[in-house]
Amino acid sequence: QRQIAHTQASVGQSKVSSAAAAMGAINSDVGITALQQRADAAQLDALVAQADVVLDCCDNFATRHAVNAACVKHHVPLVSGAAIRFDGQISVHDVRRADAPCYACVFPVDQAMDEGSCATMGVFAPLVGIIGSMQAAEALKLLSGAGKSLAGRLQMLDARGMEWTEIRTRRDLSCKVCG
């Protein structure tokens, strides 16, 4: 099972309800606002405007780019994570820093991407936990000001050999989103 927030007992519930219940069970003092809706650009804009940091855990480029555009507009750091098969990646896109790229600088909107989904391609279940835990760590560092974020770096994990590769990323001055 790759989504540990959901249990056999929660089969039939929406992921939103199941995840909210799981988080509430871990810490009842945490305020949880569970939204079960498709967010269009206007809704994303309103939600991101209220956020201190955004974690992107979605599985398609259209949504990632829409979330990125809202984060750029409101200068909200975006912690992006992805996992498919045995490959995972994580980066922070923090346009508050002049040298840091947005998501579209690294993965341009008009660039054709081979987009597979976990449902059709599969994903190594522990990989989702590894990338998700790293996203949580990056978000906590951004919120607390501790340590150095991954802004300007893309880390990729090949879980077959548990080998990490890191590449430096730069802001694209001609980027259609942040340039």
The predicted structure's pLDDT at residue 1:
52
The predicted structure's pLDDT at residue 37:
86
Q: Is 13 a residue whose pLDDT tops 90?
A: no
Under a CB-based contact definition with an 8 Å cutoff, are residues 176 and 104 in contact? yes
The predicted structure's pLDDT at residue 149:
96
Confidence of residue 35 (pLDDT cuts 50, 70, 90): confident
Name the CA radius of gyration of the chain, rounded.
16
Tens digit of each residue's pLDDT (9 = 90 or more) over 37-74? 888 889 999 999 999 999 999 888 999 999 999 999 99
The predicted structure's pLDDT at residue 117:
55
Residue 10: Cβ-neighbour burial (10 angstroms; 0-12, 13-18, 19+)? middle
The verdict on pTM exceeding 0.95 is: no
Q: Which domains does the chain have, with CATH numbers?
A: 1-36 (no CATH), 40-168 (3.40.50.720)
Q: Long-range contacts made by residues 165-174, C-beta under 8 angstroms, separation at least 24?
A: 169/91, 169/101, 169/105, 169/106, 170/99, 170/101, 170/105, 171/95, 171/98, 171/99, 171/100, 171/101, 171/102, 171/105, 172/101, 172/104, 172/105, 172/108
The predicted structure's pLDDT at residue 92:
99
The predicted structure's pLDDT at residue 111:
80
The predicted structure's pLDDT at residue 34:
85
Tens digit of each residue's pLDDT (9 = 90 or more) over 116-168? 655 567 899 999 999 999 999 999 999 999 999 999 999 999 999 999 999 99
The predicted structure's pLDDT at residue 73:
98
The predicted structure's pLDDT at residue 91:
98
Mean pLDDT on 92-101:
96
- Residue bearing the bigger pLDDT, 31 or 75: 75
Beta strand extents in 121-179 (DSSP E only): 153-158, 163-168
